[in-house]
Chain A
Amino acid sequence: MYNKGTIIPGLIIFVGLMLFAVLWDGGGKVEAPKPEKPVGYKECVKPLQYMKESHMELLNVWRDEVLREGKREPIEVGGVMYEKSLQNGCMHCHTSKKKFCDTCHEYASVYPYCWDCHVAPQEDVALKEAR
């Protein structure tokens, strides 16, 4: 073999880069996120699977309807009225951003810009109100 001095280190660097994800983790098992479910509510505005996969689309539609078209009327799902609002709708039941939103978002490296404008509920106050 020729040029061992460059080929071998080069290949080691290549394999190391390719195995970056394995080496970074150190082989530990990754726990699935467990977002805290709201107390006293069983259903959301849409089925669970839809909310898991597409809640951001719904939030975007709501934002457009409320802010750009002025359609602020609440929506009724299964006899319960929900306000079309992140702060007063979603966060009314899901009282904690940290224990609900952030669990999955941080897990999947998702940093939505909701909170650039919206105010997250104060963790302690919201918990007390919920009780």
Chain B
Amino acid sequence: MRVLYPFIAVLALIVVAFLGGKVTGLQYLLGVVLPYLAFGVFIVGFVSRVLNWAKSPVPFRIPTTCGQEKSLPWIKPDRLDCPSNKLEVLGRMILEIFLFRSLFRNTKAEIHDGPKLVYGSSKYLWLFALLFHYSFLVIVLRHLRLFTAPIPFFVPLIEFADGMLQIGAPRLYLTDSIFLAAIAFLFLRRLISRLVRYISLPADYFPLILIFAIGVTGLLMRYVYRVDIAAVKQLTAGLAAFSPTLPAGIHSIFFVHVTLVCTLMVYFPFSKLMHMGGVFLSPTRNMSNNNRAVRHINPWNDPAIKPHSYAAYEDEFREFMKDAGIPVEKE
């Protein structure tokens, strides 16, 4: 059920958009109104989610430490796994954001005969997550050719490198195939591994299925149904220039692709996909572990409440403590 419902939802979107894309009136709705609406929801939703996070106080240092803390001068600190200043935090964050260092530490647990519990390193999640995210980035950058005129210099360079193998016409992009393979892995991982399947929810399957469908419809447009790219650019470049025109003769599959992308944009701010912004705001990663060097005071502490040491406490309640038989330090 947890896989089936997201699957049916995406399928329903595809059917509705495919049929809608055949009607001229609905084409305008799917190709012009929906993208503007979805983009607006995406930007406003994203920004307000981040602002909401920024309003939450993080009074104490809660970095996850995975190495030796900075201590006495002859003890070598682990600067990346237990950063003690801003520069080291910056290094940790850069590696986290660009290389997904946390996923690199992913482990697996297996029960062997005995019974014996065995832990081991598992790098597949890290590898395929990295492939997936970078392919997605390249694909998004390549799409700039449809929204800009003149086309930025780096877009043809990316296209050249991506289509380096010159397979078929139009050329097969490496990132397209890597993208689909990686997302298929991430999906199958949730289905096949019992442990991960147990904790997987519809909110985990839905984005995977949706993004896979986006990739597949994109490839269908390029290789199977073949849309008129010049007509498509008339529409998309018009969107970016805020003077949308809807040329006739665009195949329905294009509107399926656009509707799915719009669904992703609308879904984005309300879902786990917000890790795109959230990774920058993870207190367990972006704080330095300097608890021993610096005293951090909770900002909303009532200044009227003075510190009350144990010695003072005992002075205040000594008689009652003695009566109750509680041992005291000073008689």
Which residues B73-124 have CB closer than 8 A to chain A? none
Within the complex, the shortest CB–CB distance from B164 to chain A, in Å, comes to: 11
Q: Which residue of B lies closest to A53 (CB)?
A: B226
- Chain B residue total in the interface (Cβ 8 A): 44
Q: Mark A101-118, 1 if CB is under 8 A from B, else 0.
A: 000100111111100000
Residue contact A108 to B229, C-beta cutoff 8 Å: yes
B144: which of A2, A20, A59 is its contact (CB, 8 Å)?
A: A20
Q: Which residue of A lies closest to B276 (CB)?
A: A14
A109: which of B42, B145, B247, B277 is its contact (CB, 8 Å)?
A: B145
Q: Which residues of A contact B156 (CB under 8 A)?
A: 109, 111
Q: Which residues of A contact B148 (CB under 8 A)?
A: 21, 24-25
Q: Which residues of B contact A32 (CB under 8 A)?
A: 230, 234, 247
Residue contact B230 to A109, C-beta cutoff 8 Å: no
**How many A-B Cβ pairs are below 8 Å?**
96
Residue contact B43 to A15, C-beta cutoff 8 Å: yes
Q: Which residues of B contact A27 (CB under 8 A)?
A: 241-242
Q: Which residue of B lies closest to A61 (CB)?
A: B169
Q: Which residues of B contact A18 (CB under 8 A)?
A: 42-43
* A110–B229 alpha-carbon span in the complex (Å): 10
Q: Does B237 contact A (CB under 8 A)?
A: yes
Q: Which residue of A lies closest to B160 (CB)?
A: A111
* A22–B148 alpha-carbon span in the complex (Å): 8
Residue contact B160 to A1, C-beta cutoff 8 Å: no
A30: which of B47, B233, B249 is its contact (CB, 8 Å)?
A: B233
Q: Which residue of B lies closest to A52 (CB)?
A: B228
A53: which of B146, B149, B168, B228 is its contact (CB, 8 Å)?
A: B228
Q: Does A89 contact B (CB under 8 A)?
A: no
Q: Does A88 contact B (CB under 8 A)?
A: no
